[in-house]
Amino acid sequence: MEKTQEIKDSTEEQSIEQDQSDDCKVHNVINSKLPKRWFKYLRLSKSQKRLYKKVLNENKTKVDKLKTTFDKNNIFEVEHFDFWYNNHQKHALKEINMKIKRNKVTALIGPSGCGKSTFIRCLNRMNDQIPNTSSEGYIYFDNGTNLKSKKISTLELTTRVGMIFQKPSPFPMSIYENVAYGPKAHGINDKKMIDKIVQEALKSAALWDEVKDNLFDLGTSLSGGQQQRLCIARAIALKPETLLMDEPTSGLDPIATSKIEVLINNLKKDFTIIIVTHSMAQAQRVSDETAFFYQGRVIEMDTTKNIFTSPQNKKTREYISGKIG
């Protein structure tokens, strides 16, 4: 009787070990990149393939499901998010958890190479265009939609989340066509409507009075600061909900920088703005919230006033005081 029980216990232990082994193997295959995944898939047993399909379906259901606890006062909620370059060789973002408020300016500060620009590009999936990158975790947008869900296409996302780069990048066409390009690409062809969109966007970007008599001059003929405001006008012509700005004033003179900062403060009435900046003075001038990044992690996030007057983390205090950077 005891021997029979021992055999039964041993069989159950072997079954548990086999299940654990199958589970581990299946998840390793799922986490591997294509086409490597398919070669590994072919080596799975029949039971492992069944488990593989089950896990994939469960993951898809989870990704497509709205986050019911999403706070309507936020535009993004990020949970346990990690990001890698070079086939998992470079771990750029580590366990990011943060909430970005709607119609506020959030500044991302931190030393060079700490993950700020990588993170901001994750918010409209621009990093998906880079080969051999991968991510884990969740970024929820607007109403609780997971950015990895098929319910939101990359085209829709990049329309709703505009991007302003460090270096002004107007298209090699007229000022008018730079702003009209997006609406036309989205099927708006009515001349009067296009004219109205262009005028409103240029006014919102505080550029209309400077270019209204020269709309058909090349966008590249403008000064650096004007080119950056033209890029902002081009982005807001599509009526996005969020503007991502990756060091938008780093190459501009103080006067042009001041104009962009005034513009940012005016735009937050209609848009959520997330700005990467190396200037702590700029972060204090334009932002409502500030997140301090260091070595791929968010060390501290709070109101800008609290971050710069009473930071809670030692690393934040050291960065603000200039001891690290």
- The Cα 76–Cα 70 span in angstroms is 9
Mean pLDDT of the chain: 87
Which tokens in the block code for residue 87? 């086939």
Whether residue 174 is predicted with pLDDT greater than 60 in this model: the reply is yes
Mean pLDDT across 10-21: 53
In the chain, % of residues over pLDDT 90: 71
Q: What distance in Å separates the CA atoms of residue 225 and residue 67, rounded to the nearest whole number?
A: 40
The angle subtended at Cα 307 by Cα 69 and Cα 160, nearest 5°, is 45
**How many C-beta atoms lie closer than 10 Å to residue 220's C-beta?**
16
Q: Which of 164, 90, 87, 153 is nearest to 125 (CA)?
A: 153
Distance CA 29, CA 37 (A): 5
**If you write DSSP's letter for every residue of 239-251 in order, what string do you get?**
--SEEEEESTTTT
CB atoms within 10 A of CB 239: 16
Asked if the model's pLDDT at residue 15 lies above 60, the reply is no
What was the pLDDT predicted at 50?
A: 77
Q: Comparing 142 with 30, which gets the higher pLDDT?
A: 142
- 106 CB-near residues (< 8 Å, 6+ apart): 100, 272, 273, 274, 275, 287, 288, 289, 290, 291
| Cα–Cα distance for residue pair 253/265, rounded to 1 Å | 19
Please report the pLDDT score of residue 251 as a whole number. 86
The pLDDT of residue 8 is above 50:
no
Where residue 280 falls among pLDDT bands split at 50, 70, 90? very high
Which bin fits 187, alpha (ψ -120 to 50), beta or left (φ > 0)? left
The lowest-confidence range among 53-67, 106-120, 294-308 is 53-67
- Place 32 in a pLDDT band, splitting at 50, 70 and 90: low
pLDDT in tens, 195-237: 999 999 999 999 999 999 999 999 999 999 999 999 999 999 9
Show the tokens assigned to 267.
Answer: 């735009």
Sorting pLDDT into bands at 50, 70 and 90, what band is 88?
confident
Task: Tell me what pLDDT residue 87 has.
Answer: 82
Is residue 16 scored above 90 in pLDDT?
no
pLDDT at 190 over 60: yes
For residue 4, pLDDT beyond 70: no
Q: What is the mean pLDDT of residues 306-323?
A: 94
pLDDT at 324: 80
pLDDT of residue 162: 94
Residue 184 to residue 238: CA distance in whole angstroms: 10
Element (H, E) at 68: none
pTM of the model: 0.82
